[in-house]
A and B are shown apart, each in its own frame.
Chain A
Amino acid sequence: MSKPQFDQFKPLTVYTIYIASTPERVWEALTNAEFSRKYFSGFAVEMEPRLGGAFIIRAPDGSNHITGEVLEHDPPNRLTVSWNVNWPDLVEKLGTTLVTYEIAQAGEAVRLTMSERHDRPLSDDILSGGRTGWPAILSGLKSLLETGKAPQIKMAPPVKMLEALKAMGIKVPS
């Protein structure tokens, strides 16, 4: 896709977490499959580390769950990717999702802010999937970097989001 007009995308969900680590290690954990599998329920982040590179999140069964493109690439400080769930008609109906990670040194810790931006208003039900998932993913990332281990968090399926998608005529996997 061509570079979107970022100003048209409003942040609808923003999370910040402090991690006792270095910006370089946080960047690596966010962009490396071996790391991400440990804190992201087995999902592998596969990223070509350059502007315009491919960004994929592969499900444990090998399928592409998220497909996107690297839109801002300033290691280890700032990364923006398009983040589109590969379900039929989803991008057409919900528009592109942008995810930005901002990484900054804050004293002895690193401040990581994740923002999810959209080009149209979306209901809380649609956003509930991400709002359930992100705190668990970010806490897992923090544990992994600070202790070497990430707790396996069993997450319930985002029922409200799935119902809202169905109501919009988007086919969701059963």
Chain B
Amino acid sequence: MSAMDEVFKALADASRRSLLDRLHAENGQTLNELCEGLEMTRQAVTKHLAILEDANLITTIRHGREKLHYLNPVPIHQIGERWIKKFERSKLAALSELKRQLEKRDE
């Protein structure tokens, strides 16, 4: 399986995307922190994290005694590089900023 296949396969699961969302909200969490308030068992979280790490969507690092998990956006950046033309980038950035501002106003 190619690296990009692994990325899409890893992303094709709502539980794994929610783990990525949790890391996006707070980067550098331990397994215990990631399990807090989730409906999933610790074993299931561990398994999902391994799939995400194999796809290089998260990366882990030891800090003292703890193993911390980090969102790794590099493969997503590479997907962007592959299909988004350079001149589209600034327009897309402007559009997502517009969306962000409009949604903020609704809150």
A residues contacting B by CB (< 8 A) are 7, 10-18, 113, 115, 131, 135-136, 138-139, 151, 153-154, 156
Min C-beta distance of A122 to chain B, whole Å = 11
B interface bracket (residues with beta carbon within 8 Å of A) = 20 to 34
Distance, CA A24 to CA B104, complexed state (A): 48
Contact B68 A11, beta carbon cutoff 8 Å: yes
Contact A12 B73, beta carbon cutoff 8 Å: no
Stretch of B14-22, B31-39, B57-65 with 4 or more beta carbons under 8 angstroms from chain A = B57-65
The closest CB in chain A to the CB of B78 belongs to: A139
The closest CB in chain A to the CB of B24 belongs to: A124
Give how many A-B residue pairs fall within 8 Å (CB-CB). Answer: 53
Contact A14 B77, beta carbon cutoff 8 Å: no
**Chain B interface mostly helix, strand, loop or mixed?**
mixed
Contact B77 A139, beta carbon cutoff 8 Å: yes
B residues contacting A by CB (< 8 A) are 3, 27-28, 56, 59, 61, 63-64, 68, 70, 72-74, 77-78, 81, 86, 89-90, 93
Determine which of A7, A12, A156 lies in contact with B28 in the assembled complex, contact meaning CB atoms within 8 Å.
A12
The closest CB in chain A to the CB of B57 belongs to: A16
- Chain B residues with Cβ under 8 A from A156's Cβ? 90, 93
Distance, CA A14 to CA B77, complexed state (A): 15
- Chain B residues with Cβ under 8 A from A135's Cβ? 73-74, 77
Distance, CA A28 to CA B75, complexed state (A): 23
